[in-house]
Amino acid sequence: MKTLTIIITILTLFTSCSATYFYSTINTNDPYTYKDEYGRFVQEGDSIDVLYSFYGENAPITICVVNKMSIPIYIDWRRSGVVIDDTPSPFAPNFDSEYDQDDLINFNLYMNNPDGLSYIRPYSRYEQKVMELANFNFHQIPDEQFVKRETEADSNGENRLLNSLQYTEADSPLFMKTYLSIYEESSYISDPLIYESDFYISELIKGKKSTKPDSFQNGQGDIFLVKHKKEKRLKKIGEGTLKVAGVTATVIGNIAIWALNSSGEH
């Protein structure tokens, strides 16, 4: 038993897991959307406000809807979603139902499918994480593409020189549009209130866990993290090189797989 323990201990010591951390700053050029002091993206209206946050790992899309009216409203997640590379992905799966587009919306049908509809009381707010993105291939960008510079993500902190790339909307590795369908209680199916916005990655920082920029430490809504892990294992007898097991992210929420096509220096 003692010999087995020693072997296991040695294998543990010679097995290591390294990770590269990529921090992405999100921005928008949408004239109807602005970024607040918490990094959230806000669409402000007389009766409804919509706020978006991407803070966390793998760009979780969190949506907050504020109902300023004296009547309830309903978010239809099946008719809301995100578009990446011209591919729409709804926030909730569609379902078959028997109604015409000119009919009043059947709220009893929706309330029996709670994943498809959210009810917001008068003068209240509702927040939900609707989707995570995945399959970011940032690790494929050559190291020499990154330049040490001051970054937006750390501008309110130590303002360190960090390895980063900066993008415009035109050359960003990720551009996405969101659409949100909201009904008032008397709305027709064919006449929802549609809230649209668009977002893009404006900055990509490469580093380690300790690189964590100020905006990520403070939980700002305009930054997300992607970790790329490589597990290095002990070389076996007869093998010429070390085995490297890559960790592959899975797609969550039916988001379309996309690859990073940007390889030029910015």
The predicted pLDDT at position 95 comes to 52
pTM, two decimals, is: 0.76
Name, of 1-15, 54-68, 190-204, the range with top average pLDDT: 54-68
Q: Is 50 exceeded by the pLDDT of residue 250?
A: no
- The pLDDT confidence band at residue 113, using thresholds 50, 70 and 90, is low
Residue 216 and residue 56: Cα distance in Å, rounded? 8
The predicted pLDDT at position 252 comes to 31
- The pLDDT confidence band at residue 110, using thresholds 50, 70 and 90, is low
Q: Rounded to a whole number, what is the distance in angstroms from the first to the last CA of the chain?
A: 58
Among residues of the chain, what percentage have pLDDT more than 90? 56
Q: Is 80 exceeded by the pLDDT of residue 87?
A: yes
Residue 132 lies in a domain: yes
Residue 184 and residue 9: Cα distance in Å, rounded? 63
Residue 45 lies in a domain: yes
Residue 213 and residue 235: Cα distance in Å, rounded? 36
Residue 254 lies in a domain: no
pLDDT digits (tens, 9 = 90+) for 119-162: 899 999 999 999 999 889 999 999 999 999 999 999 888 889 99
- The pLDDT confidence band at residue 10, using thresholds 50, 70 and 90, is very low
Edge-to-edge strand order for the sheet containing 48-53? 34-35, 41-44, 48-53, 61-67, 124-131
Residue 12 lies in a domain: no
Average pLDDT, the chain: 78
Residue 49 lies in a domain: yes
DSSP class of 144:
G
Residue 7 lies in a domain: no
The predicted pLDDT at position 114 comes to 56
CB 210 within 8 A of CB 19: no
Q: Is 50 exceeded by the pLDDT of residue 88?
A: yes
The predicted pLDDT at position 209 comes to 86
More confident residue, 156 or 249: 156
Tell me the CB-side half-sphere exposure of residue 189, using CA atoms within 13 A. Answer: 14
Q: Is 90 exceeded by the pLDDT of residue 220?
A: yes
Residue 9 lies in a domain: no
If one counts the domains in the chain, the total is 1
Q: What is the rounded average pLDDT of the residues 15-43?
A: 91
Q: Which residues contact 173 (CB under 8 A, 6 or more apart)?
A: 138, 167, 201, 204, 260, 261, 262
Domain that holds residue 174: 18-246
CB 80 within 8 A of CB 197: no
Q: What is the rounded average pLDDT of the residues 106-119?
A: 63
CB 83 within 8 A of CB 194: no
Give me the phi and psi of 216, to 5 degrees please: -75, -40
Q: Is 70 exceeded by the pLDDT of residue 1?
A: no
Residue 207 lies in a domain: yes
Residue 46 and residue 17: Cα distance in Å, rounded? 51
